[in-house]
Chains A and B, each alone.
Chain A
Amino acid sequence: MADLDALPQQWPTDDFTRIPYRLFRDEAVYRREQQRLFAGPHWNYLCIEAELPAPGDFLVSYVGERQVVVQRTEDGEITAFLNSCAHRGAQLVRCLRGNATSHTCAYHQWCFGTHGELIGVPQQRGVKGAGGMPKDFDKQSHGLRMLRVESYKGLIFATFSEEAPSIYDYLGPSIRPEIDRIFDRPVKVLGYYRQLVPANWKLYLENVKDPYHAGLLHLFHVTFGIYRPTMSGRVTMDSTKGHSILRTADIGEENAEVTSVYAGIDKYREDYRLNDPSLFDVAPDYDDRVTNMIMTIFPNLMLGQVANTFQTRHVRPKGLREFELYWTYLGFEGEDAEATEGKLRQSNFIGPAGYISLEDGEAGRLVQIGVDRRDPEDCSIVQMGGRGPIEDQDTLATEVALRGFWKHYAEAMDMPAAGIAT
């Protein structure tokens, strides 16, 4: 870890307007993230409660790189455990989803209950009077590695840490109201998408905290009015600056204004018309004219609304230079067939093939390969929206939420910049 000791001096500015590229390419940084972020006092998204409706329902999720099983117990409680047998470490649960009130390891048939308790050890007292476990073997002290689990509005989070505050306080008063807005009615899962992006996982967090790129990389949704830099926009952060909300609303701005913003950008085509615009012809779920809402919860959850689509996007690190973006596409319980059909049509905006989000995979790839060829001490420039204090802003021409992420990241990784107030 010697090379890491040098890192605190490698933030060239104390207001996080320069981000060292080695944070995306250094194995030591990656290992430290697994300890400090994913095993530290932070809450990690696992799934939504609607995925576990019945007692015994379980599914596999991830905390950092570590696979965990999250489960509804016989009593309706939610528990989670590291997916590794207490005996010799084998993977315990072998399928991604199912229903069971106990789990038996394939290797030696050790059996565990939904609270991780060790229920049965075959041949504990030996066979024909010989062998077996020592007489003082105590099943109670050989349960599974359990995680703390809490949920907010049906979003289930877990942590390996006893020090993390409650999830309610972790989300805080700036973030909770937006979750309340989306989850004002019961949700159901419409499907999953998986996208394996050849980039460091933090590049995706940077991407979704960055409204500056949205109107420049994603010409499709500029052209069709889902997102324009001239729209009413706001970037909100919590007190740690680690979580953020980007919100854009359609205020019926003048087309001439949009055209002037795009003067000289030949990718923007004012004359572009769809042959079949019916995928825009869907009644909105909310009457607040919000066309785009991107929330990120530190360290690695994104919760998003693009037009009528709502999804959680779980950024699952798979090594230094790859992550799986695991999308859970949500509809509302009780919505009529027409509303669901509208969401299926608008699935064309999202997921690995979506008009908008396919380009975010490409952005990650391009940045990773570019950064890998730079000198170790090189940095990115993050100062759209200004230098200095990291505060909420009423513009979309800003990168301030990236600076907020890096500030909280630096604190969580114990590599603060000199002079930063924590």
Chain B
Amino acid sequence: MSVAAIPADRRLAVEALLDDYVQALDGDRLEDWPELFLEDGLYKVVSRENVALGLPAPLVYYYSRGMMRDRVTAIRDALTFEPLYIRHLVSGPRISGGDGAWNARSNFAIFQTSEEGRTRRYAVGEYCDRIVDTRQGLRFAERIVTLDSFAVYNLIAVPL
């Protein structure tokens, strides 16, 4: 199905979900992040190196909203990492599909800024999404994050 065939209001709804995702992370409203997924939603971060080699090991592999909530709890209460501001730049998505289910692909760059205001380029890659309509609105059935910058600067604490 061509891009032009997607009704404008549906396209806007998909783009709004993608934006909600960015706002939840950049705005430090991490508790909102799992709620953007289905109960059995998939969130996976893979390195471009492993993908190119056909190797399965993911960097992050959460296959339920519960696991995503657990990550948020750990970030808030248990994990030790550098406090940073983060900012996503996401390209306009390429959207396909229809009838209540869409595929979306977009490029991202994530910047980290220290408490003293120094910014570094942290991560670059691609989001590959499967989005479905539910009674509560659009949700991610899956978001696969392919990391070009797979030589990770120190660590990944907050989701990409």
A residues with CB within 8 A of B? 97, 189-198, 217, 219-220, 223, 267, 269, 272, 274-276, 278-279, 324, 329, 340, 343-345, 347-348, 351-353, 355, 358-359, 361-363, 365
Contact = CB atoms under 8 A, between A and B. Distances in A.
A193 B79 contact: no
Interface stretch (B5-13, B23-31, B65-73, B124-132): B65-73
B56 A190 contact: yes
A355 B154 contact: no
Given A352-B155, A358-B155, A191 B79 contact: no
A245 B153 CA distance: 28
A210 to B, nearest CB: 15
B79 A220 contact: yes
A275 B67 contact: yes
A121 B154 CA distance: 44
A275 B69 contact: yes
A275 B62 CA distance: 12
A196 B59 contact: no
A198 B70 CA distance: 28
Given A219-B78, A353-B60, A361-B154, 7 more contacts: A194-B150, A198-B154, A220-B74, A274-B70, A345-B63, A353-B156, A362-B82
B103 interface: no
A351 B65 CA distance: 22
Contacts of B45: 353
B153 A344 contact: no
A267 B57 contact: no
Given A217-B80, A365-B82, A358 B58 contact: no
A349 to B, nearest CB: 11
B115 interface: no
A220 B75 CA distance: 10
Interface stretch (B14-22, B47-55, B90-98): B47-55
A217 B78 CA distance: 9
24 contacts: A190-B56, A190-B57, A192-B47, A194-B47, A194-B150, A217-B80, A220-B74, A220-B79, A269-B78, A274-B70, A275-B64, A275-B66, A275-B67, A276-B66, A279-B67, A343-B57, A345-B63, A347-B58, A348-B67, A351-B59, A352-B152, A358-B155, A358-B157, A359-B81
Contacts of B59: 193, 347, 351-353
B154 A365 contact: yes
Given A198-B154, A344-B61, A355-B79, A189 B55 contact: yes
A194 B149 CA distance: 10
B129 to A, nearest CB: 19
Contacts of A223: 78
B131 to A, nearest CB: 22
What 6 A-B pairs are tightest by C-beta distance, nearest first?
A191-B57, A275-B66, A276-B66, A353-B156, A358-B155, A352-B152
A129 B82 CA distance: 67
A14 B60 CA distance: 45
B4 interface: no
B81 A329 contact: no
Contacts of B1: none
B155 A362 contact: yes
A190 B79 CA distance: 26
B70 A276 contact: yes
Contacts of B67: 275-276, 278-279, 348
A369 to B, nearest CB: 10
Nearest to B160: A353
A192 B157 CA distance: 19
Given A194-B151, A195-B152, A344 B66 contact: no
B99 interface: no
Nearest to A356: B79
A352 B154 contact: yes
B77 interface: yes
